[in-house]
Structure 1
Amino acid sequence: MKKLFTALVIATALFACKKEQKRGTEQVLPAAFEKEMTADAGQLIDVRTPKEYSEGHLNGAKNLHIYDNDFITRLDSLDKDETVYIYCKAGGRSAEAVETLESKGFKHIVELEGGMDAWKEAGKPVKQ
């Protein structure tokens, strides 16, 4: 009986400590976007043009231009179970990309509200 009780206590503790996978789509401001990205090493995607990307992007971002012919195919290389952090210049293209990600079954998507414009306005770091 004592062993069973100990096993239950350990199992409960392990279950409580296990990181719960978030689901759904969030649109967050730069401070929350930065905080979530830092806490969770997800997949960071910049859907702007390669030219825009080269003029400054978030550190670690992968450039997948939304209007490239192979955009959908390149999305297939991402892990659907891992959080996707996504942004564009002001929010329009990333909103389009979010719809595509949702339709493809991605479980958790975090969109930067206001895009790079809001990020820069908030004084957040940009990699050149």
Structure 2
Amino acid sequence: MPITPVKTLVAQAKAQITSYSTQEAAARVADGTAVFVDIRDPRELKRDGKLPGALHAPRGMLEFWIDPESPYHKDWLDTDKEMIFYCASAWRSALTVKALKEMGCENIAEMEGGFSAWKKEDREIEEV
């Protein structure tokens, strides 16, 4: 039995989640109603930097960190602000937001194009 291609999974996820352009995401963070959450691998952050002020939750631990019942829970993920997740190109972030919605998380979104789109637009990047 063939597997479902990841492109299909990402497209299905994007049809079920909220996605913001870099401009929309930046405006929400700037007005204080949202925070960026970088889900890339720590090596990517070290190599490329991150969006200014972005929090970091590696994709592999996110479900464990966000679940208040998990022994790995991180209190800083309990926020009233909208969390806007991003990765390198908005594939992992789409799957992440879909998975978190399935867990019952609300007030979450992803940023279209991810870090690559942000960088391509020559926006500010913070060194890690």
* Closer, same or farther: CA 57–118 of 1 in aligned 2, 3 Å: same
Is residue 40–residue 87 contact of structure 2 (8 Å, CA) maintained in 1?
yes
State which structure, 1 or 2, has the greater radius of gyration over its C-alpha atoms: 1
Cα RMSD for the two superposed structures:
1.9
Distance 1:110 1:39 in 2: 16
Q: Is 1:53 matched with 2:53? A: no
Deviation of the 1:28 alpha carbon: 1.3
For structure 1, list consecutive stretches of 5 or more residues without a partner in the other structure.
1-23
Deviations 1:63-102 (A, max 9, x none): 21112xx332212332264311110000111011101221
1:25-40 map, 5 Å: 25-40=17-32
Cα distance in 2 between the residues matched to 1:73 and 1:125: 30
Alignment of 1:1-128 (within 5 A): 25-54=17-46, 55-67=48-60, 70-76=61-67, 77=74, 78-79=77-78, 81-128=80-127
Q: Is the 8 A contact 2:17 2:94 kept in 1?
A: no
Q: Give the paired residue count.
A: 103
**What TM-score results when the alignment is normalised by the length of structure 1?**
0.71
Secondary structure, in 3 states, of the residue corresponding to 1:44?
strand
**Matched letter for residue 110 of structure 1:** A
Q: Matched residues in 1 for 2:44 and 2:89: separation?
A: 12
Q: Distance in 2 between the 1:104 and 1:82 partners?
A: 18
Aligned to 1:11: none
TM-score by length of 2: 0.71
Identical amino acids, percent of aligned pairs: 27
Q: Would the alpha carbon gap of residues 25 and 108 (structure 1) be closer, same or farther in structure 2, given more than 3 Å must change?
A: farther
Structure 2 runs not aligned, ≥5 long: 1-15, 68-73
